[in-house]
Structure 1
């Protein structure tokens, strides 16, 4: 039996440690992620969703417990070291790209993710055909703007570029932190469709935070709910397929009673 790709074991994460404002955000949280899982994550504001991502990515250090990548602890690895195996797309389209660099230059930068940086010829032109084909799959005209500075793109195009940059080197773990939330409904659904297609085509292991119940139900093979720093619901396979919005609404109502 193969080992899980990522495990969080009895993880406790606090902020404002040793002050009167100390808060425990993750409370003995356990999560096992298998290779190829596409997990959608629901939870109310302050439940611990972003804290979970920050803990996995190394932005926050854990106070107790362990985080294992293929059975080896990474709990003490820095945020920078974790970029070797992890990519993240944030809610704000401006966070994942360099605005003064062109689309092609941003994609070229992404080919070096997790590597030691050094001075070397860029060889940008030899990648242009590859980048044009890759961006064509997003269906939003990004393929026609390879030489455009990223700061001049629409929000949807910029977020699509952030997603492509995060998946270009096929990370072991992909974190999507409400990556469609800042977009209008049409653009959001276009990006979500392209996201799902690329995750399936590359067999990526992905965790996606969303506030859209319909997206949580439609996409992925697994759904988890976080409440008060713990995973309170974890459903997959046929059981997930049979879930409805009404069942999820009732589940959230039960948590609040």
Structure 2
């Protein structure tokens, strides 16, 4: 039985990788997690713990060997990654992965506005969207609104990642995956993007899972924190339990996993 109140559920999900000699290694091991509507979950784990595999399975870019995945109570285990974009968005660590480099900022946002829709040969109506694009880019506070007609490849790393975030959240997805989306940025730009991230997640009541290695961010943001160890959830802290955590306590999880 799946939790009918969960927007996302993973039930006994196992993922294996197979080497050239035929041996198998389990990356996720009977992985279980229920995510409530509106949860903002920070995800911690040592390298190789299974964090990226966890996100890839949710996004549909990696199939589960066993178990089930549910979205709003519907089994999506066999649903393609392309079809999952109708309700799921993801921002990667590399600012170059979420945008089309030779398209302008406005053109990239127009792609986001049509995310999950059937592609048809229709006029773009780009001009009719410009006021909205200017409004949402201005909210980022990094002068992105002044570069709507600039090719994305000519943006700074922070502006490009901000654009990736805006594209991912433009249609208010049911599930937002942030895959270390500030890790490649300098501390000041990272802090600014995290502040805008939390603001948008809260204002739009987005359900968000965020992988991070920044302990300060893990403690500061979100209403829930999970630790992934050896392919499963080893700790799951609610809002009150999370508020009582310290960086030393978080580091102790990694010491135990070493």
Q: How does the TM-score come out when normalised to structure 1? A: 0.97
Q: Deviations over 1:70-120 (max 9, x none)?
A: 111100011111111100000000000001110001001101101100111
2:218 aligned partner: 216
2:13: which partner in 1? 11
Cα deviation, 1:193-248, whole Å, max 9, x if unaligned, reads 11111000100000000000110000000000001101000001111111110111
Aligned match of 2:152: 150
Give the match for residue 122 of structure 2.
Answer: 120
Matched, 1:20 2:22: yes
Matched, 1:105 2:119: no
Which structure 1 residue ranges, 4+ long, deviate > 3 Å from structure 2? none
- Aligned pairs for 1:21-36 (under 5 A) are 21-36=23-38
2:179 is equivalent to residue 177 of structure 1: yes
Aligned to 2:66: 64
Instruction: Compute the displacement of 1:192 (Å).
Output: 0.6
2:194 is aligned to 192
Give the Cα–Cα distance (whole angstroms) in 1 for the partners of residues 108 and 77 of structure 2.
Answer: 30
* Structure 1 unaligned spans of 5+: none
CA distance in 2: counterparts of 1:23 and 1:255, whole angstroms:
18
Q: CA deviation at 1:249?
A: 1.5
Give the secondary structure class of the aligned counterpart of 1:232.
strand
Matched, 1:54 2:56: yes
Map 1:130-169 → 2, pairs under 5 A: 130-169=132-171
The CA distance in 2 between the partners of 1:210 and 1:162, in whole Å, is 17
CA distance in 1, matches of 2:19, 2:206: 35
Partner-residue secondary structure (3-state), 2:57? helix
Any conservation in 1 of the 2:4–2:73 contact (CA below 8 Å)?
no
Task: Find the aligned partners of 2:144 and 2:197 in 1 and give their Cα distance.
Answer: 15
Tell me, yes or no, if the aligned pair for 2:9 and 2:70 is still in contact at 8 Å.
yes
Q: Structure 2 unaligned runs (5+)?
A: none
Supply the distance in 1 between the matched residues of 2:125 and 2:109 (Cα, whole angstroms).
Answer: 12
Q: 1:6 to 1:17 in 2, by over 3 A?
A: farther
Which residue in 1 is equivalent to 2:240? 238
Determine the C-alpha separation between the residues in 1 that align with 2:20 and 2:256: 33
Q: Secondary structure at the match of 1:5?
A: strand
- The TM-score normalised by the length of structure 2 is 0.96
- Deviation, 1:19, is 4.7
Q: What are the Cα deviations for residues 104-140 of structure 1, in whole angstroms up to 9, with x where unaligned? A: 0100110110110011111111111111110011111
Structure 1 residues 19, 173: CA separation in 2 closer, same or farther (over 3 Å shift)? farther
Counterpart residue number, 2:86? 84
